[in-house]
Structure 1
C-alpha cells in the first residue's frame, strides 16, 4: 500500500516539473523554505493542509486536482493488490482428484 505523504510529494513534484518550474520558484510563492518543500516532495515530511493549500496556490493548481491524482494512485494500487498473483492450487491429492471428477 502506498504511503500518503510519498504520493502527495510525487504528485506535487510531477506538477512542478510539468510546469518547468524550480523548487525555488514554488518555495518562494508558497512562502515555505526550499529545504522543507524538497522534503515534502520526497515524502520525508507530511504537509499540513495549510501548507498544501499554499503549495497548490504557488503551482496555480486547485488542491482538488492534486488530491484527485493522489486518490487515483491509491485506487490503482488497491486494485493491483486485490488481483491474485497465482491461482489456488489444491494442497492435497483428494482435493485434486475431486476437482478432476467434476469436470
Structure 2
C-alpha cells in the first residue's frame, strides 16, 4: 500500500528541519503554529492546509514547490512496485515495436 500524501509531506518537512539542526519548537515559533500541531503534521497525522504548509516552509526557508516535488518523487518510487504488481504495464519509451500490415487470406 502506498503512503498517504500527508505522511510523505510530513517526512519531507521533518527531514528539512532536522537537516538544519532545528527543533520543533524553533520552527513552530517561526511559523506561528502550535508545537503539537506541527508535530502532528510531521508525523502525518494531520492534513496541513496550503496556508499552514506555506508558513512552515517559510519558517524552514524551503520553497513549498521543493517540498511538494520531493514528496511527489517519494510517492512515485512507492507507486512503481504497486503498479507492477497489479499488472500495469510500465512502458519504456525507448522500445520500438513494429506491427506488420494485416494480411488478408483467401478462404476457399
TM class, shorter-length: 0.7 to 0.9
Long gaps (5+) in structure 1: 86-103
Q: Which residue of 1 aligns with 2:35?
A: 34
Q: Which residue of 2 aligns with 1:55?
A: 56
The Cα offsets for residues 39-84 of structure 1, whole Å up to 9 and x where unpaired, read as 0001111100000000000000100000000000111011121234
Q: Which residue of 1 aligns with 2:81?
A: 80
Long gaps (5+) in structure 2: 87-108
Secondary structure at the counterpart of residue 47 of structure 1: coil
Secondary structure at the counterpart of residue 46 of structure 2: coil
Q: Which residue of 1 aligns with 2:90?
A: none
Q: Which residue of 1 aligns with 2:23?
A: 22
Structure 2: distance between partners of 1:30 and 1:54: 5
Aligned residues: 85
Structure 2: distance between partners of 1:84 and 1:53: 36
* RMSD (Å), alpha carbons: 1.2
TM-score between the two structures when normalised by the length of structure 1 = 0.79
TM-score between the two structures when normalised by the length of structure 2 = 0.75
Higher helix share: 1
**Structure 1 stretches of at least 4 aligned residues deviating more than 4 Å after TM superposition:** none
